Amino acid sequence: MKKTIKIVALSLLLFFQSGWMAANEGMWLLHLLSRINQAEMTSMGLNLTADEIYSINQACLKDAVVRLNGGQCTGEVVSDKGLIFTNHHCAYDAIQGFSSVENDILTNGFCAKSFSQELPIPGFEISFLVRIEDVSKEVLANVTASTPSAERAAAVELAMKAIYEREAANGYEVEVKDFYFGNEYYMLVYETFRDVRLVGNPPESVGKFGGDTDNWMWPRHTGDFSMLRIYADADNKPADYNALNKPYAPKHFFPISLNGVKEDDFAMIMGYPGSTDRFLSSWGVKQALDITNPSTVEIRDLKLKTQKEHMDADPKVRLQYAAKYASTANYWKYFIGQSKGLSRLNVYGKKQKVEQQFTDWVAKDPSRKSTYGDALSLIQQYYNETSKTAKSNVYAIEAGLTGPDMTLFAWRFNRTYQAAQAAESEDQKKAILQSFKEDAEAYFKDYDAATEKDVFIALTELYIRNIAREQRPDWTHLVQDKYKGNVRAFADKLYSTSFMATKEKLFAFIDKPNDKVFNKDMAIMVANSAIAKYRESFFNPAQEKFDTGSRLFVAGQMEMMKDKKWYPDANSTMRLTYGKVGDYVPMDAVQYEYYTTSDGILEKKDNSNPEFVVPANLEELIDKKDFGRYANEKGELVVCFIAGLDITGGNSGSPVLDGDGNLIGIAFDGNWEAMSGDIAYEPELQRTISVDIRYVMWTIDKLMGGKNIVDEVKYAPKKQPKPVDTPQTSPQTPATVKPEGTPKAVPTPAKKETKPAEKGTVKNASGSEGTITKVPATPPKKK
């Protein structure tokens, strides 16, 4: 069995909790719940102890929460046979990979009726958290506050290496990550399973209903779920795919609750939030608003339009580019919404107030001035120095390295070729090169030369037009100097001559490699040029100022507010967030209720628009109102609901649980009005959007014919309704969003007291290795 052990040290940011923060904000570390959160959670409706949520000695809730592909998404175990629920978009690549024009399961849906029909997903991994351990003292044993940065980094790296060597023999995957911007370190131990199979997915008209128009919007009517299964060897241990493997027997799985949710119900989410920047300074906010966000949006907008033209013209291309387009579009819209939110909520001004408060506190004590006096000035210096290159750094990633698919693909082959060149024997060299054919098969399956060529032309023209020559990669100089600025002529030569342009040419080269041909290949040249410029942007000489200043700023705030409940920024480690189900007021004269129903699906129906297609069988089922045990007390089929829960990208697919630990929904998105939430939490606006588990089970049962799945899962006990002394007005079916995304205004009743709410931002998973789908507002952290 191959053992993969990783040591990752990612610099994290900590959110400074000010007076406008809601009590339930936070992405909490599970092993600290008993000390920090249990009393409050119990008062809100939790019926479990902290040990029943996280324990290393007994089965608990954390044993039913899984990390998908290193943190791209989250999933949950829902049966004693290793069945996993997650989001539709989290399995989108796999679903698309199994689809063809002749057997289009992406469009039509799929549900395996037996284990033998489940489809093995190449390269898909699912991990369970075994334990968390504080290793701060060990990692920081040989450093002090005054240790120079270079010495500090070397000492930390040496200490982490010792941890790696100690844990390597245990057979688990190990990560060491820093929290509170290098002030604390934790070791996380995982067990990773590699035999994962697709069990089922709803039709795209359900799993992606609303498409880009409804993305990030409430009200929502999307059945964003899919089903996977973990397989293990005869000893219930991780193994590579084998037809003899058996469904995994988990330590714990979540019962399905058909009791539904009501306003003010307690809810919690466990999952793997990817990253937040809530400690981002005012200078970072300004750089994001002025430079990085608009640059990212402009590049992605052009890429999306170019791909869409080809996708609309050819059904095969539509399938090939479905996952790529969705990933690009998700962050395109995210950055648009984030900028609007930052501006509307005056986050820049709020950050300045936080910084002034810190400055005043430091100035009152000479020892504080000695220790923390330079913190903010170092951060400011970093942004002053990087503002000149921030735009070109975005272009280096978005238009250069990860813009056209061929660039990143050619760079990966370049790495393989160099590894082969360093091999000790010809047999080893040949084996290394031949191993790349598997990657190439997957790449060319979803590759269309005409589409890629047009994307390359469009993005290169934009690159040359918007970025000064001295800040661009060398290949753009060649376009201007040798090809007189004619990008299309350069692209014609590139895509007609490079051995990277077709699978046949690449395989022929792999079978008969030639150094001279390799060194002259235009795609390899472009790739090397792109990665060189990207590395310039990544390894910034001002990084040390930012790292030191931020670490001191965090430490100073923790000293200044010793009694505060602190939680670290997200970093793809398991967290828990809790809050209440509830509505919100997004704007004047508009109020959104906390749930949507199947009525809204038919209200949005537009079969001339691919985003709002309602298949005849789905429409018929809704019209008949054959909802059975999945209906609420009013006979409605609830589709989605919102709750004040603090999550972000990586939480996609996370289990939404009630106070007894039963599954009530699957988190999949956030609301448009709170798009600035990764940087500044807004308690009045932020909501997590989840698909109601009753709609999931109804879809599996009635639409997909998955009786085997319905019978496999276990159900929580039916709750008896509480007696009501006086009649109460039933909630109205929420206003729906028209296909163009315009909310329907309804008269606002006498305004009730607004309850604090938590964040609801779920960003879709990023692409394959090396693809950077989010340009961080803060600088890239050293690893």
- Which own/partner pairs from 465-472 qualify as long-range (CB within 8 Å, at least 24 positions apart)? 466/298, 466/391, 466/395, 467/391, 467/392, 467/395, 468/392, 471/389, 471/392, 472/392, 472/395, 472/533
310 as an active site residue: the answer is: no
In three-state secondary structure terms, 103 is coil
729: phi then psi, degrees, rounded to nearest 5 = -70, 130
Residue 252 reports pLDDT greater than 90:
yes
Whether 747 and 589 have beta carbons less than 8 Å apart is answered as: yes
Residue 165 reports pLDDT greater than 70:
yes
Residue 726 reports pLDDT greater than 50:
no
Q: Which of 224, 583, 658, 678 is catalytic?
A: 224
Q: At what angle do helices 522-538 and 405-421 cross, to 10 degrees?
A: 90
Confidence of residue 674 (pLDDT cuts 50, 70, 90): confident
Residue 746 reports pLDDT greater than 70:
no
Buried b (16+ CB within 10 A) or exposed e, 84-120: bbbbbbbbbbbbbbbbeeeebbbbebbbbeeeeebbb
Q: C-alpha angle 706/708/713, rounded to 5°? A: 105
Between 7 and 292, the more confident residue is 292
Alpha carbon of residue 389 to chain centroid: 27
Q: How confident is the prediction for the chain on average, in pLDDT?
A: 88
Q: What is the Cα–Cα distance from 257 to 695, expressed in whole angstroms?
A: 12
Q: What is the Cα–Cα distance from 288 to 284, expressed in whole angstroms?
A: 6
pLDDT digits (tens, 9 = 90+) for 360-395: 999 999 999 999 999 999 999 999 999 999 999 999
pLDDT of the residue at 576 = 97
224 as an active site residue: the answer is: yes
Residue 611 reports pLDDT greater than 70:
yes
Summarize the confidence of residues 451-471 as an average pLDDT.
96
Confidence of residue 723 (pLDDT cuts 50, 70, 90): low
Please name the residues in contact with 336: beta carbons below 8 A apart, sequence gap of 6 or more: 293, 297
pLDDT of the residue at 732 = 38
CA neighbor of 573 nearest in space, from 280, 34, 184, 57: 184
pLDDT of the residue at 214 = 93
CA neighbor of 667 nearest in space, from 575, 566, 739, 601: 575
Provide the token pair at 404: 């056209």
Residue 771 reports pLDDT greater than 60:
no
pLDDT of the residue at 287 = 96
Whether 450 and 406 have beta carbons less than 8 Å apart is answered as: no
pLDDT digits (tens, 9 = 90+) for 443-458: 999 999 999 999 999 9
pLDDT of the residue at 409 = 95
pLDDT digits (tens, 9 = 90+) for 490-506: 999 999 999 999 999 99
CA neighbor of 655 nearest in space, from 568, 767, 762, 773: 762
Confidence of residue 481 (pLDDT cuts 50, 70, 90): very high
Residue 776 reports pLDDT greater than 90:
no
Q: What is the DSSP string of 710-745?
A: HHHS-BPPPPPPPP-SS--PPPPPPPPBPTT-PBPP
pLDDT digits (tens, 9 = 90+) for 172-202: 899 999 999 999 999 999 999 999 999 999 9
CA neighbor of 388 nearest in space, from 291, 277, 286, 530: 291
CA neighbor of 689 nearest in space, from 631, 759, 744: 759
pLDDT digits (tens, 9 = 90+) for 645-673: 999 999 999 999 999 999 999 999 988 88
Whether 86 and 650 have beta carbons less than 8 Å apart is answered as: no
Tokens 């999931």, residue located: 696
pLDDT of the residue at 541 = 80
Q: At what angle do helices 474-481 and 522-538 cross, to 10 degrees?
A: 130
Q: What is the Cα–Cα distance from 161 to 197, expressed in whole angstroms?
A: 35
**Three-state SS letters, 262-302:** CCCCEEEEEECCCCCCCCCCHHHHHHHHHHHHHHHHHHHHH
pLDDT digits (tens, 9 = 90+) for 42-54: 999 999 999 999 9
pTM above the 0.95 mark? no
Whether 88 and 765 have beta carbons less than 8 Å apart is answered as: no
**What count of residues does the chain have?**
783
Rounded CA Rg of the chain = 26
Residue 705 reports pLDDT greater than 70:
yes
Alpha carbon of residue 540 to chain centroid: 25
pLDDT digits (tens, 9 = 90+) for 259-295: 999 999 999 999 999 999 989 999 999 999 999 999 9
In three-state secondary structure terms, 187 is strand
Summarize the confidence of residues 337-341 as an average pLDDT.
89
Please name the residues in contact with 379: beta carbons below 8 A apart, sequence gap of 6 or more: 281, 283, 284, 545, 546, 549, 550, 553
Summarize the confidence of residues 534-544 as an average pLDDT.
83
- Which own/partner pairs from 738-745 qualify as long-range (CB within 8 Å, at least 24 positions apart)? 738/604, 739/213, 739/604, 739/606, 739/609, 739/611, 739/612, 740/213, 741/213, 741/214, 741/217, 743/586, 743/587, 743/590, 743/592, 745/589, 745/590
Q: Which of 31, 89, 221, 310 is catalytic?
A: 89
Summarize the confidence of residues 419-445 as an average pLDDT.
93
End-to-end CA, the chain = 27
pLDDT digits (tens, 9 = 90+) for 127-137: 999 999 999 99
Alpha carbon of residue 38 to chain centroid: 27
Confidence of residue 722 (pLDDT cuts 50, 70, 90): low
Q: In the chain, where are the structural domains located?
A: 282-538
Q: What is the Cα–Cα distance from 369 to 387, expressed in whole angstroms?
A: 28
Confidence of residue 406 (pLDDT cuts 50, 70, 90): very high
Q: Which of 652, 654, 676, 766 is catalytic?
A: 652
Summarize the confidence of residues 476-496 as an average pLDDT.
96
pLDDT of the residue at 7 = 32
Minimum mean pLDDT range among 56-60, 314-318, 721-725: 721-725
pLDDT of the residue at 238 = 96
